[in-house]
A and B are shown apart, each in its own frame.
Chain A
Amino acid sequence: MALMIGALILGFAAGRCRLLPDFLRSKVSAMGSLALIVLLFTLGLSMGSDEQIIAALPVLGLKAVLLAVGTVMGSVLLVWGATRLGGRRR
Chain B
Amino acid sequence: MTWKILSSLAAGLLCGFFLRVPEGEIVGLAPDLALAALVFAVGFSLGEDEQLWAKVKALPKALLAVPFLIAAGSILGAVAVGPLCSVPPAEAALVGAGFGWYSLSGVLVSQSCGAALGTLTLLANIFRETLAILFTAVVAKRFGNAVAVAPGGATAMDVTLPIVAASTDPQTALLAFYSGTVLSILVPIVIPFLAKLVH
A contact set with B: CB distance below 8 Å: 1, 3-17, 25, 28-29, 31-50, 52-54, 56-57, 60-80, 82-83, 86
B22 neighbours in A (Cβ, 8 Å): 49
- Chain B, residues 74-110, CB within 8 Å of chain A (1/0): the string is 1111111110111100001001100110011011101
- Say yes or no: B14 contacts A48, CB within 8 Å: yes
- Say yes or no: A35 contacts B81, CB within 8 Å: no
B100 neighbours in A (Cβ, 8 Å): 71
- For chain B, the count of residues having a C-beta within 8 Å of the partner chain is 103
Chain B residue nearest in CB terms to A17: B47
Tell whether B118 is near chain A: CB-to-CB under 8 Å.
yes
A17 → B minimal CB distance (Å)? 8
Tell whether B51 is near chain A: CB-to-CB under 8 Å.
no
A24 → B minimal CB distance (Å)? 10
* Contact among B9, B19, B37, B146 for A41, CB-based, below 8 A: B9
B122 neighbours in A (Cβ, 8 Å): 43
